[in-house]
Amino acid sequence: MAADGNITKDVMYGAVAPDDFESMLELDRYNARSTAFDKIISATHDHFWDPLDPKYIDFDEPFDMENEPMIDEAQQPLLRLPYIAETLKDPKEKVRFINYMQLRNFSSILHGEQGALNLSASLCHVLKDQGAQEYAANQTREEARHVTAFARYIKARWGRPTECGAALKSLLIEIIEAPEVYKKVVGMQMLVEGLAMGAFANGYKNNRDPLARKLFQLVMTDEAFHHKFGKIWADRTVPHLSEAERNIMEDWTAHCAQKLLFDRGDPRQQAEIYGQFGLDPERVVADIVQRRKERDPNRKFTGETNIFRVLVKTLLNAGLITDRTRGFYAMYVDMDELAGEGERMVGDDIAEDGIRYLQAINFKDRAAAPVTIAAE
């Protein structure tokens, strides 16, 4: 391990202190650019889109928020709690509840995208390799358009986002402010991005709002490449870790995963919203606790678009889960089932279709290039 606490196994992930600009002016650095990210950088043109241009996505597209639920009632498990089911009998109140919970989901995504923007910008200040730095600069631009796009969507449908959840906020701050590059790459490029890909795939599959589905797909055309940056890092780093370094990295990974699971799983984080629907927060939380007691203790997250399952598969494919930490993830996910699925992710097909859509707009006067998100 380097003296600065970083775990660097490939020179292209070498880093300097964020205030060490002088190192960026070293003459030999300009002739030492890695080529590992060139395909990802070049592909930026294929999946370019502008959230301010309606030819890509039109945020004026209407949706009846008062009468139309954004997802099926069956997709909102809180409505199956006895107390909520007995209280929210008015169909319009059910729609309002479903759509408000969607606002909370979209707000979490918006905050996560803001975190990704700041994280990728911070990498520009510390990564010494020009290729890695250029990639990080491209990602910064793409994350900025995600912030713009989700902010515009929320404004169009609800007017204003909700606050960032305490656990997610804490984790984002921890990742962004971490001086070690490995913490930034694992925390954001793999864990948060892995969670996001699951959320986007799930939203694309289940959201009834065509505008939301288009937004999810466009963002996924970018995120698939961001995830690939993390995968390249893992391929060039994880196999070369010492036992001590692997333990440090696995512990950090499990720590982040646990925070993300807590952010989505703690009913008290949502307690303040129930009063808006005439619900007693304590009774709602009591119902949730009781339901969890009655569950089969061997019950796992299932379904290819389950958010936490996609996150765990991302970590497994990157080699960041071994027998030492497998038990933690196995409490939630069937690890043998994941291992048998191979490396292809659920969002890949959606992203590839989105790239074809963007190529048709961006290069309408030329034949579209073959679509790939598996840049090496």
Model pLDDT for residues 29-43, shown as the tens digit of each residue: 998 899 988 988 998
Give the mean model confidence (pLDDT) for residues 63-85.
Answer: 94
d(CA 160, CA 163): 10
* Mean pLDDT of the region 217-227: 89
Measured at the CA of 144, the angle between CA 138 and CA 148, to 5 degrees, comes to 150
Residue 267 clears pLDDT 70, i.e. is over it: no
Residues 174-203 have a mean pLDDT of: 88
**pLDDT attached to residue 2:** 52
The share of the chain scoring above pLDDT 90, in percent, equals 48
In the predicted model, what is the mean pLDDT of the chain? Answer: 87
Would you say residue 376 has pLDDT above 50?
no
Q: Average pLDDT for residues 43-60, to the nearest whole number?
A: 94
pLDDT of 193: 83
Mean pLDDT of 297-304: 70
> What are the b/e assignments for 178-194, b being 16+ CB within 10 Å?
bebbbbbbbbbbbbbbb
